[in-house]
Structure 1
Amino acid sequence: MEAESTALDNIGHLSQALSVSSLDLKFGPASYAGKAKLQGPESPLLLRFVALSRTGCTKGVKIEPSSVNSTALDLEPQNPHDRMIIAAFVTLNPSETVTTLHHTTIMPSVPGILSLCLLLFCPVAELRVNKEGTQYTGALIGLGHDHDGNAVYPADDIEASFDIHLTQEDLVLINRVRFLMNVVLEEGEDVADKVLIKTQNRMRELLLQLVDVNRDYREPESYHYPYQWQMVPKEEILHPQIDLFWTRAWVPSFPFTAAFSCSQAEITTRPRKSPLGGGGRMIFI
């Protein structure tokens, strides 16, 4: 007992000595009288969230506090490619200035995943090209336009700028996936299990062909006429070649995306080492 009490006394004297010595530390000259502005508590690695729709981009975006994604950090800030987050549902504050995301999932860091997902699952897309007519720079996403060229529902239109080089071969793969989705949705419950499984496997193969490519980063370009439909002359549109039987049998839920007769510069692509690698600086919804 005596040895134990002696050890405790020594620890007490040591902690007291450390406390006293810490008060005597001097971090700068005593005559310094300036002020330093501290930034915080946010980290420079903390991901910011931006909505894509025309009305949503004017509102602030945050994640529900109980979610682990509310403090999502960018693990590879040197990677300039965009990231994407999806939510099961969203809510607005009473003043309708802030959107709160619920049940969110951060998608894998695949270069171009935002652009590819928009083209894969959008109702209607109209591609944008640069002034030279050599590259696809973005797309207008939405419900399309009427006979006069006015947007059907302009509030939810998305003017997206690509951060990858999109090729004609990519558009062919995207239209193949949309065709298979149309077939499944049209047949509905009448699709046989074997046919459904075969279709799902084929869609998976096409999706892997899209994402399993090492795509170089390109600086996004803003379109000079944003949110304007029918900006490409009809003679330059290349409509996908499909059987007339399908066009007469049903109206597709996912219309095919038309390409342009642009003289694209040669773009080399190579297989990715992993379709799940990489990082990003910005997250979109």
Structure 2
Amino acid sequence: MVAWGIKDEPEMAIECVLSEIQPLTLRNPNGTWSDGAITIFKNTFTAKSTIAQIYSVVGNVMSVNLLLPECLNACEKSVLENSFNKILIAEGYAEQVDEPYLSRDNHMSREMAFNSPDSLHLSFAPEPIEEDIDIESPSEKECRSKVDLKGPKSPLEMSFYSVSRKSQGMDINVEWSSVNSVLLDTHPMDPHNRMLVGGFIRQNKAGDRLTLRNTTLIPGVHGLPALITMVFAPRVQLRTDSNRTHLTGAICGLGCDPQTKKPYHSENDIELTFDTKFELSDLEVVSKTRY
């Protein structure tokens, strides 16, 4: 039974999450922390005190940057910047991610309040109240035309586009009876692309729309669409930045004529823009996998 008067007891804990990171998708596609990450957390903080830098507070959930226990008595900036969040990234258990909009908005409000001389006033400033405006309905004489409305459409609904040059600009739809006919983005703040593969593709008579059947949504591992394309493409030509310091993309296709340098069936080429950093070691793994 619940003890009498428990409602009068003050709250003793608050829910916290680590800011600007998430479990590494490659190791944890379901979005939960792995046993290795939990073990590191226990070994680092069990029976120890630490400092949590508050990034934001949204919905009674505090997003924090967790400092290491040795930071309690440290004054050096390098020690204070060595947070547990960064250790998880360095150990390969987490990856950098942007905070949700509400979290970023709360973070900016907190910084403005902290840097303002009226910080106390800004911290407790109520949200502005927007007045409702009543708009009169149009008369029957004004309602002479019909407009077909589409929707409602969720802002989380994912859209598709073709990667081959031949079908660029076409509308891409998934057959209505498919389980993937409506896909919602579970990580809207993640800017990386995902890949949807169709077993059968049908083009309409006008030639401006493709309908996919027997589709499979590839797991959202960063860089996986580019890796799959480079592994199975007959020829791959890499792209670099102007300073040749890092790879920016690739053209995948049948290659080109060695004399004229013209591509074979260029309409079927796939031009990729890398949204993940690729090193030379990654390309060596791709080459070994191909051959």
TM-score w.r.t. structure 2 length?
0.49
Q: Give the Cα separation in 1 of the matches to 2:171 and 2:232.
A: 25
Residue 50 of structure 1, CA deviation: 0.3
2:230 to 113, 119, 142: 119
1:79 aligns with 2:190: yes
Q: Give the Cα separation in 2 of the matches to 1:69 and 1:87.
A: 10
Q: SS state of the match for residue 55, structure 1?
A: helix
Whose relative contact order is higher, 1 or 2, with alpha carbons under 8 Å and at least 6 apart?
1
Name the CA shift for 1:100/1:29 in 2 (closer, same or farther; >3 Å). closer
Which 4+ runs in 1 deviate beyond 6 A?
none
Q: Give the Cα separation in 2 of the matches to 1:29 and 1:150.
A: 63
Matches within 5 A, 1:51-90: 51-90=162-201
Aligned to 1:175: 287
2:278 to 166, 179, 196: 166
Residue 55 of structure 1, CA deviation: 1.4
The amino acid across from 1:108 in the alignment is P
1:42 aligns with 2:145: no
The amino acid across from 1:97 in the alignment is D
Aligned to 1:222: none
Q: Give the Cα separation in 1 of the matches to 2:172 and 2:214.
A: 14
Q: CA RMSD in A?
A: 2.2
Worse-superposed segment, 38-47 or 159-168: 38-47
Name the CA shift for 1:143/1:29 in 2 (closer, same or farther; >3 Å). closer
Could you say which structure has the higher helix fraction?
1
Q: SS state of the match for residue 164, structure 1?
A: coil
Q: Mark the runs of 5 or more structure 1 residues left unpaired by the alignment.
A: 1-26, 180-285
Q: Give the Cα separation in 2 of the matches to 1:34 and 1:115.
A: 53
Aligned to 1:254: none
Aligned to 2:119: none
The amino acid across from 1:170 in the alignment is D
Q: Give the Cα separation in 2 of the matches to 1:34 and 1:166.
A: 58
Aligned to 2:136: 33
Aligned to 1:4: none
Q: SS state of the match for residue 168, structure 2?
A: helix
Aligned to 1:268: none
Residue 39 of structure 1, CA deviation: 8.0
Matches within 5 A, 1:251-270: none
The amino acid across from 2:263 in the alignment is A
Residue 34 of structure 1, CA deviation: 8.1
Identity of aligned residues (%): 35
Aligned residues: 151
Q: Give the Cα separation in 2 of the matches to 1:87 and 1:29.
A: 48
Q: Give the Cα separation in 2 of the matches to 1:122 and 1:142.
A: 6
Name the CA shift for 1:29/1:74 in 2 (closer, same or farther; >3 Å). closer
Name the CA shift for 1:153/1:29 in 2 (closer, same or farther; >3 Å). closer
Deviation string, structure 1 residues 78-100 (Cα, Å, up to 9, x no partner): 11111001011201011111000
Deviation string, structure 1 residues 175-211 (Cα, Å, up to 9, x no partner): 11111xxxxxxxxxxxxxxxxxxxxxxxxxxxxxxxx
